[in-house]
Amino acid sequence: MVVDPLPGRAKQVAEEFGINQYSVDVLDACQSKEIDALLVVTPTSTHAAIIQLAASYGNSCL
């Protein structure tokens, strides 16, 4: 799943890499049973909040 706050960009990146799911909300990825780990590629200032959210759902982060 690709997550990006801009819907058009999320869809574009997902299509470019052959990924069938995309969202504008990181919570969708955190709650997905199909996600094994999250790769956080965001501004450094946002890493802690995203990692804490993901961890609260039992996800691993890279």
Q: Which of 34, 20, 1 is nearest to 57 (CA)?
A: 34
User: pTM higher than 0.85 for the full model?
Assistant: no
Averaged pLDDT, 17-35: 94
pLDDT on residue 36: 87
Please tell me the predicted confidence (pLDDT) of residue 7.
Answer: 87
CA distance 57 to 31: 7
pLDDT band at 46 (very low <50, low <70, confident <90, very high): very high
Q: What is the CATH number of domain 2-61?
A: 3.40.50.720
Tell me the domain boundaries of the chain. Answer: 2-61
Mean pLDDT value across residues 40-62: 93
The dihedrals phi and psi of 28, each to the nearest 5 degrees, come to -60, -40
CA neighbor of 24 nearest in space, from 37, 42, 35, 10: 10
Mean pLDDT of 15-22: 96
